[in-house]
Amino acid sequence: MPVRWIPGGGFLGNSYLVGDVLVDAGVLPTAIERYRDAIREVVLTHCHYDHIAHLNEIARMCNARVSIHREDAPGLSSEAASLSLHFGARAPMRPPDRILADGDRIGGLLVIHTPGHTPGSICLLHEGECALISGDTVFADGGFGRFDFPGGSSADLQQSIERLAKLDVEGLYPGHGSPVERGGKRHIMAARELLRASYD
């Protein structure tokens, strides 16, 4: 089951389509429209506005339920937690249909709780493809998500990236920037070393 990249434009985060699951909803609904009949669930890697900007429109267009980790669920109805005011916008003001926890499965994806960027940040692992959709936890250039926003934690982020570094990852599909289809673990290891060097 391949991971389809739907690039984010400007400040908006990437989305990914895996089977009938759409990961993140920052992209314009027009980028999703051709897949509307295939999408059954929208899974959010975290609650920041650049990943949820068009959640209401996309969920309605696809008649899809919305899932997010318990710790980030309040952010869907909070200007402060979603950072929406930083973008001159409002939070979606909707409760999720499903609350996620570490170890849950959605389609062929395993939920991995990776706090640090936000308390409820998650990554999604497609074990058969050795593919990791990493949200803003780690990026494909060896970078990692900011932890100076409300609820962020450098210690939690370090633990999360240490956990990801133990996984067999080929494809790395981040919340911003271009994904890589091979050697994803090297990028995670680079982020781990950078974070260790900078903040230990």
CATH label of the domain that carries residue 32? 3.60.15.10
Kindly report, residue by residue over 98-152, the tens digit of the pLDDT.
999 999 999 889 999 999 999 999 999 999 999 999 999 999 988 999 999 989 9
Is residue 49 very low, low, confident or very high in pLDDT (cuts 50, 70, 90)?
Answer: very high
Structural domain harbouring 22: 4-199
Residue in the block written with tokens 């027009």:
30
Structurally, the chain folds into a number of domains equal to: 1
Q: What is the DSSP letter of 191?
A: H
In tens, the pLDDT along 52-86 reads 999 999 999 999 999 999 999 999 999 999 999 98
Amino acid identity for residue 20 in this structure:
D
User: pLDDT tens for residues 143-194?
Assistant: 999 999 989 999 999 999 999 999 999 999 999 999 999 999 999 999 999 9
User: How many Å apart are CA 200 and CA 130, to the nearest integer?
Assistant: 29
| Nearest residue to 27 (alpha-carbon basis) of 10, 43, 40, 4 | 10
Q: Which residues pair with 135 in a beta bridge?
A: 174
Q: What is the pTM of this model?
A: 0.96
- C-beta of residue 161 within 8 angstroms of C-beta of residue 144: yes
Greatest alpha-carbon pair distance for the chain in Å reads: 47
How far is it, in rounded angstroms, from Cα 149 to Cα 52? 16
